[in-house]
Structure 1
Amino acid sequence: MRLLRTTWRLRRKFSVLSAKCVTLTTVSLVTICVTVFVYCMGVFTHFLEKDYYTEFSYPLEGNLQPLVKELILGNEPPIKPINVFNYSYLKLCHDKCSSNASPKLLFVVKSALHHFEQRQAIRQTWGNQLHLPQVEVRRIFLLGTGFDPEIQRKVDEEDRLHGDIVQADFHDDYRNNTLKTMSGFKWAVEHCPSARYAVFSDDDMYVSTKNLLRFIRNPSSYPEQESQPLLVKDFEHRDRSLKEEPALVGEGLEEQNEFGNLNEEAKLYAGYVFHSPPQRHHSSKWYVSLQEYPYHLWPPYVTAGAYVVSRSALLDLHYGSFYTKYFQFDDIFLALVALKINIEPVHCSEFYFWKKSYSKLGYRDVIASHGYGDPDELRRVWSEQKSAGHA
């Protein structure tokens, strides 16, 4: 009996120890999993970020405006550019903007190599150069290169037919969006010097040329029935679902000529403006490390789906990019350039970076909306808005 009691006590003791070990192991595993999850979500990284308002610094330091001015005048600046875009044009559209052309709008559309149907739909809708007879419009599509000779053959044939492809020799990939965007800026500066406004767009956007012209006429009060100021001054994060307008002011856009149009010397850089934090979770498509960008906020940036720049702003952003350290996201890179050359982005809520739910009346004032990768849907919506007088 004594032996049985001893055995029972030992078994009980070991059972308690075993339970404690299992509990400790479970706690350890949970702790490790939580730690890994928190790390992947970038929670630790946020504690190491620098304050954007008090510590911001980004190469090249100093006042870039005198350097930009020298380049615009065709002079050699005293400091060499730090950013040289390493690509060459394969297709240039030499005759798109002839010497006697004076387009009001130049559409510069970023397009994927294989998006033949999307490009054709744009040619037939908002990118139609003859859509508004009283307004001179030009259109080009920006492409990179790929690895499929058959696709390139079709692109060559497309360009022979339409004469609107500008292609450069970098790989056509999301990670090269900054290269693609800046190749468009360079082309617009060098090959379409008479265009008064350049409109940059993705190939899955709906655009209303009429509303765009209305906006350009008076950016500080668009739509006309709603007097809404536009320059972002109150820096806060507006996420996708926030509907109310931020605190804004309309200074800087009062420079209008005697016909009520925006003065061409005004530096207009406009679209849907954000002032948001970088994505620090590792699984994000837009993940950015502290080494790439250490600050807790981006500069105010215009979402890349669709935006408009005046000729004056185009020149400053193009030449300012020579003296701004390269960044992988094109909208952030332009924001950094704009910040360093003192151009404030103009916010307009009628540039939709998501797909605005469609209704005939609801699109009355829409300038651009994302989500039109279906060519037939784009044709249908645009045709209906054209018939209603809104496109």
Structure 2
Amino acid sequence: MRWRRLSRRLIYAMSQKIRRCWPIVISLFFLVSGLWIMASGLGVVDFLYEEDFTDFKWCDVNVKDQVQRELNGGLPASEYLVNDMENIKMFSDPLRCQEARNDTLLIIVKTGADRIERRNAYRATLSRIKSRAGWNIQTVFVMGHHGNNINTLIEENKKYMDMIIGDFRDHYYNNSYKLIYAMKTAMNFCSEVPFLLSLDDDYIINIDNVIRYVSGRVKDEKLYAGWRMYGEPYRYRFNKFGLTLKEYPYNLFPPFITGGMVFWSPLAVKEFYTAMKYCKMHKFDDVWMGILAYLLDYHPQSLPEANVHRSKDIKTPSLDGKLGEHGYSASEIADYLRYLNSNTSQPTDLRTDARNN
């Protein structure tokens, strides 16, 4: 009987302790649960669920094989098409180059729909450079729209005839659309596909160094070059560069060229353009190009001369030995490009001749 009384007292004492601690236990449970839910919502714990890059898969077809098949005259794999590259809508006429026997460098500036000051800065400087060292050089602009400014953009293009106005909302996360329109323009620009240089609209470049660089390349080279990056996705949702697991489930990015300044050879233009048909877009255009490069077995070439960092310690930049820098305002672009690139000629009309349509 004595052990029964002791056991009852022990059980009673434990129940009293549990009763006194129960509110604390409940509070801790809800606190931990709340913190976990908040952390999950912010993406803080997403890294726990990432897939290893060794399992990388982005398209439903062997992109490299399909691209080679098409470039050798084969038919598209219509059942795997993701992006309808042939029927994209534009609010501008297709642009064409001036036919010539010289090599052509097409410079396409990715610009915001409302950034006319920057476009005009390039028009007053870079667009006036039509030839250097036997190369034809033409500068055009690619953008989306904001819905309410389409007519304004159309009127601007009637004046300058140098714009690719795509049918998409102009937004930072839609820059991949700009590359679709840029690649399509490059594919159809000349009788032969040109070398392509894409720029963000805060870049200044040394055109002589650029021409010197592309002159040392060949048309059928697998050239995808610029400032090369390696990295892993940000999982914090409040970050501008944050990605959900649905948007990108892997723990690493393939190596890619930062989107501000990128060189493509004519062969690369053809292969990337064709690959775009079969691969879903990524909201970061440079990461998307890195994905395509990985699937096409390209090795992004790093160019130290394409430094992404602006020289802030001097008032007037010197691009001796450099291809370009970014981080410049519209007024700086106008001043510095004029200073860096003399011996310009007058711009010419890029409007498509109606007889060629």
Whole-angstrom distance in 1 between the partners of 2:251 and 2:155: 47
- Aligned partner letter, 1:197: F
Q: CA deviation at 1:40?
A: 5.1
One of 293, 297, 320 as aligned partner of 1:364 = 320
Alignment of 1:108 with 2:64, yes or no, is no
Change (3 A) 1:101 1:154: farther
Do the aligned residues in 1 keep the contact of 2:121 with 2:330 (CA within 8 Å)? yes
Equivalence for 2:337: 382
Change (3 A) 1:330 1:281: same
SS of residue matched to 1:327: coil
Equivalence for 2:302: 347
Residues 229-378 of structure 1 correspond to what in structure 2 (within 5 A)?
A: 261-357=216-312, 359=314, 360=316, 362-372=318-328, 374-378=329-333
TM-score, L = length of structure 2: 0.79
Consecutive unaligned residues of structure 1, counting only runs of 5 or more, are 1-19, 218-260
Whole-angstrom distance in 1 between the partners of 2:236 and 2:158: 45
Q: CA deviation at 1:355?
A: 3.1
Residue deviations 1:342-372 (CA, integer Å, cap 9, x gap): 1111111222334332635753122122212
Whole-angstrom distance in 1 between the partners of 2:133 and 2:211: 14
SS of residue matched to 2:259: coil
Change (3 A) 1:37 1:304: same
Change (3 A) 1:179 1:361: closer
Equivalence for 1:65: 64
TM-score, L = length of structure 1: 0.73
SS of residue matched to 1:192: coil
Do the aligned residues in 1 keep the contact of 2:104 with 2:135 (CA within 8 Å)? yes
Aligned length: 323
Change (3 A) 1:368 1:77: same
Whole-angstrom distance in 2 between the partners of 1:156 and 1:89: 11
**Greater fraction helix:** 2
The root-mean-square deviation of aligned C-alpha atoms, in Å, is 3.0
Residues 24-63 of structure 1 correspond to what in structure 2 (within 5 A)?
A: 35=36, 38-39=39-40, 42-52=43-53, 54-62=54-62
Alignment of 1:89 with 2:90, yes or no, is yes
Whole-angstrom distance in 1 between the partners of 2:336 and 2:27: 57
SS of residue matched to 1:308: strand
Do the aligned residues in 1 keep the contact of 2:83 with 2:280 (CA within 8 Å)? no
Structure 1 stretch 33-42 or stretch 358-367: which is displaced more?
33-42
Larger relative contact order (CA 8 Å, sep ≥ 6)? 2
Q: CA deviation at 1:213?
A: 2.0
Consecutive unaligned residues of structure 2, counting only runs of 5 or more, are 1-20, 344-357
Q: CA deviation at 1:329?
A: 1.7
Change (3 A) 1:126 1:67: same
